[in-house]
A and B are shown apart, each in its own frame.
Chain A
Amino acid sequence: KQEVTQIPAALSVPEGENLVLNCSFTDSAIYNLQWFRQDPGKGLTSLLLIQSSQREQTSGRLNASLDKSSGRSTLYIAASQPGDSATYLCAVSPGGYNKLIFGAGTRLAVHP
């Protein structure tokens, strides 16, 4: 059974720091991996989608990497800002029609 783990569960950093969020999964046979952001009381916003054949994706200050063989992904956030404060969720698709299996998330707080 595929399990997704995110470390750390919570993180508090001063504004301007570069930071790394970690995601691991137990079964390397994935179709893709997606990083989401969730603000309190809101739905999920897709940040980056990495296909199984890709190693990384970049969007602005965000960079996500994927190492399928080791079952790991990292989300790198450069020059963090208070507006980055949210919960970041990692999800993998085990194949087929793109059903997602989520980790529990990392709650990020960036303080001025």
Chain B
Amino acid sequence: GAGVSQSPRYKVAKRGQDVALRCDPISGHVSLFWYQQALGQGPEFLTYFQNEAQLDKSGLPSDRFFAERPEGSVSTLKIQRTQQEDSAVYLCASSSLPLAGGLSHEQFFGPGTRLTVL
């Protein structure tokens, strides 16, 4: 596609409910990132995929958060038993692999999913 897309754009969940957020990266982009952005703050890294492999999940705040990218394209971020502190905008970004010589590509971000937990 032309850019990174995310769905749904807005999600309201009751505390304790499970949610699933979807990301469609730019076609052909190998790298996929999830970030969490609280109100008035910069995004914070959650997890990273290279193709279908989840190489870094150090930013996931608890074991209630789970991400997958089974075929190396679309990714889903799942949050189980949502809590009020999970309310945030969840951003997905993709980029291609680094060029030879160590140069890196810029990340392209989707519009985000705004999650509100009541």
B18 CB–A CB distance under 8 Å: no
Asked if A99 contacts B42 (CB within 8 A), the reply is no
Asked if B111 contacts A99 (CB within 8 A), the reply is no
A interface: dominant SS: strand
Enumerate chain B residues within 8 angstroms of A99, measured Cβ to Cβ. Answer: 33, 45, 48, 56
Enumerate chain B residues within 8 angstroms of A4, measured Cβ to Cβ. Answer: 42
Q: Which of B3-42 contact A (CB under 8 A)?
A: 4, 31, 33, 35, 40-42
Could you mark each residue 89-110 of chain B with 1 if its beta carbon is under 8 Å from any beta carbon of chain A, else 0? 0010101001000111111111
Interface size range on A against B:
20 to 34
Interchain pairs with CB closer than 8 A, number: 67
Interface size range on B against A:
20 to 34
Enumerate chain A residues within 8 angstroms of B82, measured Cβ to Cβ. Answer: none
Could you mark each residue 71-112 of chain A with 1 if its beta carbon is under 8 Å from any beta carbon of chain B, else 0? 000000000000000000101010001111111110000000
Asked if A98 contacts B55 (CB within 8 A), the reply is no
* Complex: chain A residue closest to B59, CB-CB: A99
Q: Which of A32-46 contact B (CB under 8 A)?
A: 32, 34, 36, 41-46
- 8 A-B contacts (beta carbon < 8 Å): A4-B42, A43-B4, A46-B107, A91-B43, A97-B55, A98-B107, A100-B45, A105-B41
9 residue pairs, one from A and one from B, having the closest CB atoms: A102-B42, A44-B109, A43-B111, A43-B109, A49-B106, A46-B106, A98-B104, A104-B42, A102-B43
